[in-house]
Amino acid sequence: MSENQNEPREYDAVLGGQNSIPINAAVLGGLPGVKSRLASPIVEVRIAALSEALKYGEAGLDLIIQALHDESMQVKFAVYSLLKDRNEKKIRRRLQNYLAIFEFDVITVDAEGKENSRIKSFAHYFPEDLGNGVVLEMVYIPGGTFMMGSPATESGRSETESPQHQVTVPAFYAGKYPITQAQYEVVMGNNPSEFMGEKLPVENVSWNEAVEFCRQLSEKTGKIYRLLSEAEWEYACRAGTTTPFYFGETTTTDLVNYHAYHPYGAAPGGLYRGKTMDVGSFEPNAFGLYDMHGEVWEWCSDKRHHNYDGAPTNGSSWESETTYDIRVLRGGSWNYYAVHCRAASRKSYSAGFALSYSNCGFRVAVALAVPSSLSSL
């Protein structure tokens, strides 16, 4: 979502003046012109028409609100951007009914880990009711292309993070947090964690148990829940950033639950908590995902590979070319050094290993039927 979607001229920029649509635009002005452009098959044209509609008072506003029914998430987001600061009851209600949104701050830090920027952002999510008052929030992750792995210049990196390679990830939904103990218990009927608390992430789960959780959750909801692939995980963690952490060149214990005696880069040491924390205790990334760095390692679906030679480039899980059932974990945990909590950091364990170190949990993904036009959102 670019800032300039509020500018009517984006429409010209997107089409580069080479398309026949601008001629139509010139011919058909006023509200009828806006209506006709809102019916265009081209997402960018519909988005540009939304900003134009703002000029036409109540009638234009009605058109904008109607666009909340648009099949494209990108168009819905554009509607949200246009209306999010308006307080009329009618608008608030319609926004909430048609596009569930949560707002949050996205922060970055300087080389010493001090906050140097903070902006408001928002993301779309849907709540999955698990029963007993327990809800799982699934956040929309727009599709995109990114460089997976770490550059050779990144301090503390491992060869397993090589070679850096381009991966295109289709849109999907990811859990806002790692699976909590309340969520695990309501689905599985047990809780293997060492640190006890409803809002704490579940830990001491093997890959096999995490996959069984997904199977039972799918049965319960009728949707196909699964673990994230490694590519999806790293893409979702980076959220458009290329630095070791989504906060920037480093992080601190004000932002991530990790082993504070071993900070990264020029960051100071801090408070070592020695345990897991309630999920969502720290600031999320630009996609609205919490606790990707630190807290608990998160099982991914992929088998372990020594490095990325031959890795898939379409965001799918890498299942081939190894016979051992060893699966990947990402993101580091409360008792690991900051270097292991980097976006590119990888670790693996045997799938059946019932872990007893209280530092391995997981996050779930679900792919919903979304129009292919969203894949480039």
Sites of contact with Ca ion (CB under 5 A): 291, 295, 331
Q: How far is the CB of 148 from Ca ion (least distance, A)?
A: 17
Q: How far is the CB of 57 from Ca ion (least distance, A)?
A: 48
- Which residue lies nearer to Ca ion by CB, 315 or 331? 331
Q: How far is the CB of 293 from Ca ion (least distance, A)?
A: 6
- Which residue lies nearer to Ca ion by CB, 192 or 331? 331
Beta carbons within 8 Å of 100's beta carbon, 6+ residues apart = 124, 125, 126, 127
- Which residue lies nearer to Ca ion by CB, 52 or 291? 291
- Which residue lies nearer to Ca ion by CB, 74 or 333? 333
Residue closest to Ca ion (Cβ): 331
- Which residue lies nearer to Ca ion by CB, 11 or 362? 362
Q: How far is the CB of 298 from Ca ion (least distance, A)?
A: 5
Q: How far is the CB of 363 from Ca ion (least distance, A)?
A: 8
* Other CB atoms within 10 A of residue 172 CB: 23
Instruction: Identify the sign of the CA torsion 44, 47, 51, 55.
Output: positive
Quickly tell me which residue has 């020029």 as its tokens. Answer: 266
Q: How far is the CB of 232 from Ca ion (least distance, A)?
A: 14
Q: How far is the CB of 355 from Ca ion (least distance, A)?
A: 14
- Which residue lies nearer to Ca ion by CB, 123 or 300? 300
- Which residue lies nearer to Ca ion by CB, 154 or 291? 291
Q: How far is the CB of 334 from Ca ion (least distance, A)?
A: 9
- Which residue lies nearer to Ca ion by CB, 19 or 158? 158
